[in-house]
Chains A and B, each alone.
Chain A
C-alpha cells in the first residue's frame, strides 16, 4: 500500500499543475491516469491543435502545453501510474483507500479528481453481438501480435492505428481493411503503403462499408459488412480489430457517492471539495455556479484544492501562504538559489 499526502486522478493539464501546487507547499502526491501517456485531452484529442487562451502563452499546442507543464514539474519527484484506472475509493478511519484496476492501493487523506470528462476508453463496434467475442476474437488494441499470425484479420478504421496494423499484419496474415469512406486520415506515407499492398493483393480493401453483423460460435467466423447502397458482403474473419479512437466515460467515479450532475461533480469554490470530505474535483469535471471549462480555470481550482489538502495531510501544522519570488523554503523545494 502506498501512503501519500494526496492522490491525483488524471494527468491532464489540471492534474499536472495541481501536482506542482502540492509539491510547492511541501506535500507529496501520486498521479494515476488510465491513458498510457501524460497530457489527458490535450495529448489525446488535440496534440497538434493550437490553444490561444493560456495566460501569458499566446499560442501553444496541446503537446507543447503538456511538455511545458512537465518541465515545470522537473524539480519535483512525482510518481505517475499510467495505464491504470481508479476503480474503488473507500473511507477507512481518516484516510481514503484507493484501488486501481492494476491492483495499486493508495492510502491518502486527499483524493483530487482531475479527470476531465472521465477516463478514455476505446470506442467499440456498434454491433451488440461483438461483446460476446471481445478479447477473444474482437479487439480494440493489439497486445500480442503473434496471436494474429497467419490468420484472417478484418481491420476497421481509417486512422493511423488501423493503417499501421494493416500494413504490419499484411506481412504474415490475410488482411481485410474496412473503412466507411474513401478518404483515410492516416499519414500519407502509410496511406500510400496501404494502396500499394492493395495493388499487390496483400490487403483486401473495402471502402464505404461498415460492419452490420458478426457470425461465429464461441470464436469469430465471418463478418457481414454493408455499403452505402445497402449491398452486403460476407468476409471470412478469425479476428476483427476496431480502431475508432477513444471516448471519455465517467466510469467508476459515478459509484463513489459524489453529487454528480450531467457528468460533472458538484464542488464548493473555496476548497473545490465535493460532498465527501477529502475528495476534491478540479478542471473540466467539476461544477459550480459560473464554471468555465477552460484550462486556466483548472489551474486556479487545483491551486485552491492543494491548499485544502494541506489541512488534512498536516493537521498539526499551520499553512503559511508564501510567494515563489521570496520564499526560501519554496526555493529550496524548487532547488534554486535564494538571493
Chain B
C-alpha cells in the first residue's frame, strides 16, 4: 500500500508522522499529524483534542482514553495486550471495536487511522 506518511527532516533525523483522525461524539473531525512512536492518546492530549482524559497518563490503569476504532482499521492494529480488555470492562459504553488509545502506538502503517471518541470517559 502506498504510504501517505510525510517525513519531516530535522537536523539529521527523519521523524515520520502519521495522520490520525479523531471524531468526537458530536461528530467534529480533528485530523492531526502524530509523530511515530507516540500513542494515539498522546497525540490527542498534546493537541488538545477534547474527550480523551487519560487520567493515569498511559499506564493502562484507568480506561479514560477509550476510543472506538473504525471497523476497517480495527483488525490492522496490533492485538490487545493482556490487561487491556480487563480495563475496557470499566470503560464508558464499551463496544466490540473499543480500544484504549494509550495502547495504540503510532507507526507509518497507521497513517489515516480514524478513531471515535465516546460521549464521555466515565
- Which residues of A are in contact with B by a Cβ distance under 8 Å? 41, 45-46, 49, 117, 123, 126, 157-159, 179-181, 183, 185, 210, 228, 244-245, 247-249, 263, 284, 293
Contacts and interface: CB of A to CB of B under 8 A. Distances in A.
Nearest to B89: A158
A46 B89 contact: no
B78 interface: no
Nearest to A159: B89
Interface stretch (B2-10, B27-35, B90-98, B104-112): B90-98
B15 interface: no
Interface residue SS majority, chain B: loop
A180 B94 contact: yes
Interface of B: 53, 55-57, 59, 61-64, 85-86, 89-90, 92-94, 96, 119, 121-122
Contacts of A245: 63, 89-90
Contacts of B90: 123, 244-245, 247
9 contacts: A46-B59, A117-B56, A123-B90, A126-B93, A158-B89, A210-B93, A247-B62, A247-B64, A293-B57
Contacts of A159: 86, 89
A284 B90 CA distance: 22
A185 B56 contact: no
A294 to B, nearest CB: 10
Contacts of A293: 57
Q: Is the interface of A mostly helix, strand, loop or mixed?
A: loop
A179 B90 CA distance: 11
B86 A247 contact: no
Given A185-B86, A248-B62, A41 B122 contact: no
B41 to A, nearest CB: 14
B56 A41 contact: yes
Contacts of B62: 45, 247-248
B59 A247 contact: no
A117 B55 contact: yes
A302 B119 CA distance: 36
Contact of B89 (A45, A49, A180): A180
A159 B122 CA distance: 17
B117 to A, nearest CB: 15
8 residue pairs, one from A and one from B, having the closest CB atoms: A247-B122, A45-B61, A185-B86, A245-B90, A117-B55, A126-B93, A248-B55, A244-B90
